[in-house]
Each structure stands twice: as structure tokens, then as C-alpha cells.
Copies of this chain bind each other. A is one copy, B any other.
Amino acid sequence: MNILVTLDSNYLKPLKVMLKSLFMNNPEERFYIYMMYSNMEEDEIYNVNKFVKKENHKLFIIKVENEHFKDSPLTMYYTKEMYYRLLAFEFLPLNVDKILYLDPDILVINPIRKLYDICISKYLYAAACHNILTVKEINKLRLKPYQIETYYNSGVLLMNIDLQREIVKEKEIYDFVKKNKNKLILPDQDIINALYSKYIKKFDEILFNYDPRYYKYNKILSKGNIDMDYVINNTSIIHFCGKKKPWQKNYVGEFYSLYKHYEKMALSHT
């Protein structure tokens, strides 16, 4: 199973926690982890590699050199890293036709085989949209001229690399960014939504991109069905969206203890 991650030094620990949870809860899978990065110390790369190898999976590192994205519009707030996910298809080996991108602020708590096997032969991506009404409406308005029906979250993104090689154009993305610089809040997510919304297959957010900030909201909305028991036994991916992260001091949330548990597992033997 192909997994795409991007990395900078600040996210080294969360990345390992995410990978550890992925490995632990998918014991029947063999993972090929493609890691895109630009500025990382050699010992950090070595550390991740050792970590992945020890668990019997394989890490491929993709160093993005400085000359890449040299024509891309950048501002103080948008770094080159925002293009990694969008243009990964340019960097991945030709034998990779499909890959699952995962943000580092994620816990994988159940098997992801069903997610990976979603048929996207006619789509560029599969993603979930976080179905909180207000967020959705705001985002639609913000990117109005682009026909967005649902606003997808790009933190868990199943990618049809074969089709992306045919359809996605670097220039189109750069043009979009130039034109919308002042409107973009979540750069790559906004781009995917504005340009490719129609080519995204939707998957269940509760199963594959569960936002724990809305634990109570989802529980009430589902008349109690989507409770803690449901999430622990059915949700594959918990995605700690938002500014407050469970590896920071004073985080508050229903899944804090679970996150720290996996963090201990991931970091205790390194």
C-alpha cells in the first residue's frame, strides 16, 4: 500500500506517531512510505528510516531540490511545501499509480484497506468533507467563482496518480494562486477544492477523516449512534484538524489520552 507524507522538522514526532498507529492497526499490510521533504537534517531522515524499517515497512525519500517550483508564486505565508501534495505525481516513480496522502496530525486506529480500495479510476482524488454546516457555507462563499459543491478536507487524500499525470497542470495551479492570493486560507486545500472539486470522490468523513473537535456535534446529530464506542471500533482515521494539536501542552479533547498513548508507543523505543 502506497502512503505519501510530507515532512518538516517540526512534524517529525507527530509523523512517527501517525506511522506507528498506521502500522499497529494494519498488521496485514505492507507499506511503501513516500516521504517528500526539502530541509531536513540527515540524522532525522536516518531516524525515520530506521523507524519504518524496524516495523518491516519501506521508506522512499524524495528530496525536493530548491530549483523545483521556482516559477511558483510564493508569499510570506505560502511556502513551497504547499505544492508537494498537489504536484507529488511529478516526483513519484512511474510504477506508483495510486497513493494515499496522510497529514501528520492523524491517528490511524483501524484498518484502512477499505479506504485504499475505493475505486477512483474516474476521479483525481477521493476525500471527505467535514460536514459542519457553517464551515462548508463559509468556504463555498469564499471561493465563489469556482463551482464548489462541497468543500473537501485534503488531510486524507486518496490520489489517482495515473490520471493526475494526464490532467493536472502545474501552470494552471500557479495561475490560480496568482489570481487568488488574497483569498486563500488553506492553500493546497483551497486549490484542490477550487480547481478539482468535480473530480473528487467523496468518502465517509466519520470513517476516514474524523474530526475530533466535533465529537459531541456528531454524537448529537447521529442521535447517539456515532459515540465513543462507534468511533473506536469503526473509525479508521482520526484527524486532529485545527490549530490546537494533541502533542502540545494543555490540549483538551476527548481523544487526548488516546493520542498520548500512541505517542508513548511511537517514541518510547527510539
Contact = CB atoms under 8 A, between A and B. Distances in A.
A120 interface: no
A181 interface: no
Contacts of A250: 224, 227
The main secondary structure of chain A at its interface with chain B is: helix
Contact of A232 (B224, B227, B264): B264
So how many copies of this chain end up in the complex? Answer: 2
Interface in A155-214: none
Of the four ranges (under 10, 10 to 19, 20 to 34, 35 or more), the interface on chain A belongs to 20 to 34
A264 B227 contact: no
A67 interface: no
Contacts of A233: 260, 264
A78 interface: no
A249 interface: yes
Contacts of A254: 254, 256-257
18 contacts: A109-B261, A224-B249, A224-B250, A227-B250, A228-B260, A229-B249, A229-B260, A232-B257, A232-B260, A232-B263, A232-B264, A233-B260, A254-B257, A256-B257, A257-B257, A258-B258, A258-B261, A261-B261
